[in-house]
Amino acid sequence: MKIFTLLASLLIPFSLFAQKAEWISTTDKNPWTKEKPIVVKKTQVEKNGIIEIFTEKNLQRMTGFGGCFNEFGWEALKLIPADKQEQIFKELFSPEGANFSLNRLPIGASDYSLDFYSFNETKNDFEMKNFSIERDKNCLIPYIKKAQQYSPSMQFFASPWCPPSWMKANENYASISSDKYNKLPKALESVTGTTGFKMQKGILQAYALYFSKFFDAYDKEGIVIRDLHVQNEVLAEQIFPSCIWQPQDLALFIGDYLGPRFEKENRKVNIWLGTLNVPEFKYVQTALSNPKAAKYIKGCGFQWDGKKIIADVHQAYPQLHLVQTENECGGGENNWKSAEYTWSLIKHYINSGAESYIYWNFILETPGISHWGWVQNSMVTINKTTGEVRYTPEFFVMKHLSRYVQQGASLLTVLDNNDLLAFRNPNGTIVMVVANTSATDKQQILKISDKYIDITLKANSFNTIVL
C-alpha cells in the first residue's frame, strides 16, 4: 500500500509544489485585502516592462517605520470606550497590525501638545533642581506605555520643539508674534538668520543637563530613548513652540556641551543633526565642519523641505546615517490623494538614503485642529460626536511597509521603476511594495533573481508582495 501511495505522489504535478508569494492589496474602497497567493515562476517570456530586483545589490539598512506620540492623540482616545481604544492600539502597534516599531517623542511642547510647556520653567535654574516630567506622567507617558504593551521592543527617538522659554533670547516659547496664540510682543520676534537660543555658557551647560535629566526620567518610566535630534525644524520660526539655530551655534552646543556631557555620563544616546526642514546643504556642511561636533553627530534627520537635500547629503557624507523624521501633515483631507502623496514622499526619502520613515500624528479627533488653529491629517481619526473610528488611506500606505519590512532589512536595487520599493529582511524574505496610481488595472512582471511574479495590479492601489 505504501508503494502505491509513493507512486501516486510522484504523479502529482510539480506545479502544486511551486513557491507562492503572499499578496496584500489596498484600494480606497477595499483596504488591506488578502489576495490569492501568486505562483512564482522559474521562466517567463521576455517582454518589455519587466521590473528587475537585484537581491545581491543591497543598499541601506532600515531602522523602522512609525509616527509621533502627541498629547492630542491621547485626548482623542478618551472619546471612545476602552475596547475601541484597545483595538486602535492593536492595529497600530502589534505585529499583527501595522507593527510601528520606531516612534518619535516630543521633549516638552510640540505643535500638537495641549498648550505651551517645558520640564523646567524656573529661570536661571542652572542645576535643574526644579526639572520635572510630572505633566508627561499624566498624558504622554500613559499613551506610550499603552503602545508598549503591544510592542515591548518598540524603539524611540526624541526632539524638542523649544527649550525652556527662559533659555531663549525672547524668553518665549514662540518665535513669531500672534495676538491669538501667544503673548510674544512683536518687538521680540526672532530675527531670521540668527539663533534664538541664548548662547551663554551657563545656559548652554544647563541645556545639556536638561537633556540628561530628560533621558534619566524617561528611563525610570521604562521608556528607553536611543536617539536625540537636538532641535525640531532648526530654521522654522513659528507662532507655537520653536527655536531657530544657526548651524555654527548648534554645532558649538553639540561639540562643546552636549556631546562631552553624554560622553562623560557614558550615555547610550545617539546625537543627530536635525531635524532639517530647509533645503540648505550648506547648513550640514557648516555644522560638520566643526570637528568637535562631527565627532558626536551620528546622522541627519530630514523633514518637509529637507527632502530637497537628503540625496546630496547622502552622496557627500556616505558615512552618515539619514532618517526621515516627520511626514508632511496635510490639511485634514485624510483622503486617497493624501495617501498617494505620502507614497511619493516615502519613495523619495528611502531612495535618497533614508533608513526610516516616520508619520506625524497617529490619532486625532475629527477635525484634527491643533491648539494653534491648524487642521492636519492623521492615520486614525475619531469623530468626537459619533465616536466613529476611521483608519485613513495614509494608515494603510504606512502599514504596507511597516507590517512586513523588518528592522535591519536591506533596501534592494530596483531597475527602471518609479513605483516599487523592495527589501530583504534579516530572515531572508523579500518584501516588495508596489503601487499602481493609474485609473486602470495594470499588468506587471517582477523578476527577482531567477524567479518571476506576474501580477495584475488593481487601478489606484497599493500592494505588498512577500516572497
Alpha-carbon span 377 to 359, nearest angstrom: 10
Residue 17 is predicted with a pLDDT of 52
Mean per-residue pLDDT, 33-43: 92
Task: For domain 64-404, give the CATH number.
Answer: 3.20.20.80
Question: Strand pairing partners for 457?
Answer: 442
Say which residues have a Cβ less than 8 Å from residue 399's Cβ, sequence separation at least 6.
32, 97, 98
Interatomic CA distance for residues 408 and 403, integer angstroms: 14
Average pLDDT of 294-318? 98
Residue 366: closest CA among 382, 346, 390, 389? 382
Q: Collapsing DSSP states into helix, strand and coil, what is residue 449?
A: coil
Per-residue model confidence as pLDDT tens digits over 399-445: 999 999 999 999 999 987 789 999 999 999 999 999 999 999 999 99
Report the alpha-carbon distance of residue 108 to residue 128 in Å, rounded.
15
- Contact predicate 108/118, CB 8 Å: yes
- What's the confidence (pLDDT) of residue 43? 76
Q: Is the pLDDT of residue 9 over 90?
A: no
What are the beta bridge partners of residue 412? 58
Q: H helices of 20-177, where?
A: 71-77, 82-93, 134-138, 140-150
Query: CA-to-CA distance for 74 and 363, rounded, in angstroms?
Result: 8
Which residue type does 66 have?
G
Q: Hey, what's the cell of 290? A: 566643526
For residue 285, which amino acid is it? Q
pLDDT in tens, 333-381: 999 999 999 999 999 999 999 999 999 999 999 999 998 888 999 999 9
pLDDT over 90 (residue 212)? yes
Q: Is the peptide bond before 286 cis (omega within 30 degrees of 0)?
A: no
- The whole-number pLDDT of residue 1 equals 46
- The structure's pTM equals 0.94
Assign domain 20-58+414-466 to its CATH superfamily.
Answer: Golgi alpha-mannosidase II (2.60.40.1180)
C-alpha cell, 190:
526672532
H helix runs in 71-225, sequence order: 71-77, 82-93, 134-138, 140-150, 201-220
pLDDT at 159 (0 to 100): 98
CA angle 331, 390, 109 (to 5 degrees): 50
Q: Residue 13: which pLDDT band, with cuts at 50, 70 and 90?
A: very low
Could you state, in order of their start, the residue ranges of all structural domains in the chain? 20-58+414-466, 64-404
* Sequence letter at residue 215: F
Residue 186 is predicted with a pLDDT of 96
Task: Lay out the sheet containing 380-383: strands in order across.
Answer: 363-366, 380-383, 389-391
Expressed in percent and rounded to 5, the helix, strand and coil fractions of the chain are 30, 25, 45
Nearest to 72 by CA among 328, 326, 369, 392: 369
Band of residue 15 on the pLDDT scale cut at 50, 70, 90? very low
With a cut of 90, say whether residue 90 has pLDDT above it. yes
**H or E element, residue 285:** helix 281-288
Q: What is the pLDDT of residue 373?
A: 86
What is the pLDDT at residue 46?
65
CB crowding 164-189: b at 16 or more within 10 Å, else e:
bbbbbbbebbbbbbeeebbebeeeeb
Q: Please tell me the predicted confidence (pLDDT) of residue 7.
A: 40
> All 3 cell numbers of residue 289?
565642519
- The alpha helices in 128-200, defined as continuous H runs, are 134-138, 140-150
pLDDT value at position 416? 75
pLDDT for 250 = 98
**Number of neighbours of residue 14 by Cβ within 10 angstroms:** 6
Give the amino acid at 109: A
Same fold, 20-58+414-466 and 64-404: no
Q: What mean pLDDT is predicted for residues 233-245?
A: 97
Average pLDDT over residues 268-280: 96
pLDDT value, residue 16: 46
- The residue-averaged pLDDT of 315-331 equals 97
pLDDT band at 47 (very low <50, low <70, confident <90, very high): low
Joined grid coordinates for residue 44: 517567463
pLDDT at 14 over 70: no
Contact 454, 445 (CB under 8 A): yes
Output the CA angle 297-254-211, nearest 5 degrees: 105
Q: Give dist(CA 443, CA 457) in Å, integer.
A: 6
